[in-house]
Amino acid sequence: MGANISFPETFNVGPIKIAPATVLAPMAGVTDTVFRRLIRAQGGCGLMMTEFTSSHGVVGTDGGRRDSRKAQRFNYLSFEPEEHPISSQLFGAEPEVMSEAARICQDLGFDAVDINFGCPVKKVVRCNGGSGCLRDLVLVRDLVAACRRVLTIPLTIKFRAGWNDQELVMVEMARIAQEEGLQAVALHPRTREQGYSGRADWTRITAIKQAVKIPVIGNGDIVIPEDAVRMVEETGCDAVMIGRAAASNPWIFRQIQEYVETGDYFQPTEEDRYQIMSTYYRMLVEEGTPEATGKMKQFATYFSHGVRNGSKLRTQIYQAKESGRIREIVDEFFHAELAAA
């Protein structure tokens, strides 16, 4: 490494070697197949994860079995060969349903399955899913044990530090994972009560790294490459997971890799931002993404981050009613801005 910066080159999830040691976090409404391939094309991301997916939705609401072809058409579980290595992420609170959903994901060709114990959204928690499970560690053990029995591919979990600061369970969660034969854990060190506010306490990542021997993936408050390196230095984690920063800066993984190797990293120009926005919008349309217009408006907020006169662009996009018109607006805006620059 040319810059003498300490950062793991690889890590393993069971038999799967992940390189670089970086993970795209599962984000509802963001990390669909189009976005994942956009990230993959920029380089530097080791492992992809799907949007978090209801285990009941995968298995079928009537409790019956879906065949693999139907599940593949289930939007959240669609992926392309270039996305490997890729892990599906499931949530739920019924061991039998969860294990059947995990089996379906394995049949679909995923490299690993991850169970979400971190989502703080009320409608998920109300059903004891996501971070709701953090109040019932017996259920957590039952869920992972049921999945482990049916899987031959790796199983991992992602979780928060606890329900609140008085009920921290991250060490117990990591130990359950290790005892049940899981291959890695990922910690977002905020509590469910915190949501996404306040600071992510990285010392909680250190605590689970010291408690277990399986790989620990750190997540939370990585905004720039220097943050990723600092997290590894401060916590000893085996890899870093990035979510929200990747939505507004799809180059973050490439930047981390360049920073580790050279001590410097690529800074996107206005032209780069135009190309990434244009490419993503084109992919949405070409692949017939449901609600493509809505996705374009959503991602206008992310991708125009740091763009000169970006608020003007966002306003025009929000007011447009068709995907074709939005693409015209993007072309017109950037052609004018680049000419002016």
C-alpha 109/C-alpha 87 separation (Å) is 10
CA distance from start to end of the chain: 36
Buried b / exposed e over 48-85, threshold 16 CB at 10 Å, is: bbbbbbbbbbbbbeeeeebebeebbebebbbbeeebeb
Catalytic residue among 45, 119, 133, 237: 119
C-alpha 109/C-alpha 142 separation (Å) is 24
E-strand spans in 74-152?
86-91, 112-117
Tokens standing for 55? 């285990």
Amino acid at 94: E
119 in active site: yes
Amino acid at 96: E
> Is 23 in contact with 242 (CB distance < 8 Å)?
yes
C-alpha distance from residue 182 to each of 112, 261, 333 (Å): 11, 31, 49
Tokens standing for 137? 């560690």
Q: What angle do CA 27, 28, 31 make, to 5 degrees?
A: 55
**Strand, helix or coil at 9?**
coil
Note the Cα 276 to chain centre separation in Å: 19
Q: What are the catalytic residues? A: 119
